[in-house]
Amino acid sequence: MRNVRVTFIVSPEKEREIEEALKQVEITAMVCMKARGHGAHPNFYSKDWSTEMMLFELFLPKEKLPILRETILTVCDVGGSIDGIFMTSEVSELFT
């Protein structure tokens, strides 16, 4: 069975919705953390110009990837004002 690693970043407002939706998907492992980065239009004169986002990293069987994509798309406002990033990569070894 081939596994994939899926990393995606969403706004903090979507964290609980995503976690609830992910309960419907067969996931091997998951990490969720608060991440900070620079927004598209930072204010260089501000004391704090970083943006808070939620970073999810999941490991799951490759055949479950379409279900995961659909689950995330139902929760996230794709093409809206709060876009996220979704990346996948193949896992050569997974020790569980």
- Please report, for the domain that includes residue 13, its CATH number: 3.30.70.120
Answer whether residue 34 shows pLDDT above 80. yes
Strand order in the sheet with 85-91: 29-38, 50-61, 3-10, 85-91
* pLDDT, mean of residues 44-49: 62
Q: Which of 4-18, 47-61, 81-95 has the lowest mean pLDDT?
A: 81-95
Please report whether residue 79 resides in a domain. yes
Q: Provide the mean pLDDT of the chain.
A: 80
Measured CA to CA, the distance from residue 43 to residue 47 in angstroms comes to 9
What pLDDT score was predicted for residue 11?
82
12 is a domain residue = yes
Q: Which residues contact 94 (CB under 8 A, 6 or more apart)?
A: 3, 28, 59
> Which of 16-20, 38-42, 91-95 comes out lowest in average pLDDT?
38-42
The parent domain of residue 25 ranges over 3-40+47-91
CA distance readout (Å), 82 to 2, 6, 44, 55: 32, 19, 21, 14
